[in-house]
Structure formats: C-alpha cells, structure tokens
Structure 1
C-alpha cells in the first residue's frame, strides 16, 4: 500500500478511485477508506476494511470498465469534506472524507445512489 499515491486533497479521491477501479486494484480501492468506513451501494452496506474489500473484490470480478465521473469541488470544513461524483448513467456518489494525521485524505462514509430520483 505504501507505493500507492495517497489522496493529498479530498478531490483526489475520485481520480484515484477511477484509476484503481479500472486497473482492477481492489486493495488500492480499500486504501481510499478509513479502517472503520461505511460504504453503502444500493442494497449493500459494507462496514470496515474486510467488508469493503469483499464488496470491491466481488464488483471487480463482475465489472471491468468504470467510466470517468464528473466530479464537483469538495465542500470543506476543517478536517472534513464532502465529495461528489456523477456517473455517466446518472448515478450520484456522495462521500464524507476526513483528513488523516499524515495530512492525506480518506473516505469515512461513501454512499452511491444507484439511480437518480426523478420528481414529476
């Protein structure tokens, strides 16, 4: 894990996710999360490193192409930040990132809304 580029800013997390997902690097994806992070994607909720690892190992075994998301600037408050990404299919991802003791950033909470809600 030490040879992987860390997220120096919260906005780096989406870029690193995209690169690692397309490289099939499940361990690299896990490294973007705090050890007790929570990941919610559809009906799946994964808490902690082992569950998040299982989620991404399974996802990468089924899918090999991850389109580049549109990312928006993070909203920051001290050592916390909200990060946002919109996928080409309209899915939205919202994450809470936290600055680590070494100054890098990791996600603490990640929620992928699989389908956008349409009103009307």
Structure 2
C-alpha cells in the first residue's frame, strides 16, 4: 500500500510535515491525497480546484523544483472540526490553509493559500 494511502494526518499540523516528506519524494499522488476532493489551492496567479487540477499543479511544480526545506509549523487554530494551519517557509513566506476533520478522524486541506507575504 502506498504511503499516502496509509498515513493520514491525525492532527491538522501534521499536514505540513506530510507535505514536506511527499514533495521531497516527488510523490504527486501523495500530495493530492492531502486535499479534499473538491479542495481549492491558490498559488500566485494559479487557482486549482479539485484533485485533477491540484495534481497538474504539483506535477508541474515537482518537475521544476526538487528541494523543499522543512517549514516552521505554527500552532493550528481548531474549532468544531475545522482548522487553520500555518507554515512559515525559510524565505519568510507564510502559507495558510483551512483543514477539515474527516469521518475517519484524519485531517485534509480544503483550502490552501500559498505564498502570502507577511507584513513588514
């Protein structure tokens, strides 16, 4: 069984670590598995909706970039099965995501906003 099929995030903050592991392994399907089927990912001018578009986004990204340093994961804000997750990348960029608890108790991202520049 593939890693992404057996290893889900038991806490919303684990999603960033799973992302890092799978991105560095070149595991596009593992990255897609971190998102709900109808999730939205916004990165710069790109907005990808659903697994198909998110898969294309990551296939293109991984074809161009192979090193993903570990991000600093900030504490998630959690309420009633929803969470805001935050990760600060090495270049000071902040990534913010909305995650939702799934029926099996794992967490998946529903909305992912990459490269939000923090205010100076």
**Normalised TM-score (structure 2):** 0.93
The residue aligned with 2:80 is 78
The residue aligned with 1:104 is 106
Find out whether 1:53 has 2:55 as its counterpart: yes
**Unmatched 5+ stretches in structure 1:** none
- Alignment equivalent of 1:92, drawn from 68, 90, 94: 94
Decide whether the 8 Å contact of 2:5 with 2:33 is kept in 1.
no
- Tell me the secondary structure at the aligned position of residue 39 of structure 2: strand
- Tell me the secondary structure at the aligned position of residue 89 of structure 1: coil
**Unmatched 5+ stretches in structure 2:** none
- Structure 1 residues 1-120: aligned runs within 5 Å: 3-113=5-115, 115-118=117-120
Q: How far did 1:61 drift?
A: 0.4
Per-residue CA deviation, residues 82-118 of structure 1 (Å, 9 max, x unaligned), is 0000100111100000000111000000001254444
**Normalised TM-score (structure 1):** 0.93
Q: Aligned pairs, how many?
A: 118
Structure 2 CA distance for aligned equivalents of residues 80 and 3 of structure 1: 22
Following TM superposition, the consecutive aligned residue runs of length 4 or more in structure 1 with deviations greater than 4 angstroms are none
Decide whether the 8 Å contact of 1:30 with 1:53 is kept in 2.
yes
Decide whether the 8 Å contact of 1:30 with 1:52 is kept in 2.
yes
Decide whether the 8 Å contact of 1:40 with 1:112 is kept in 2.
yes
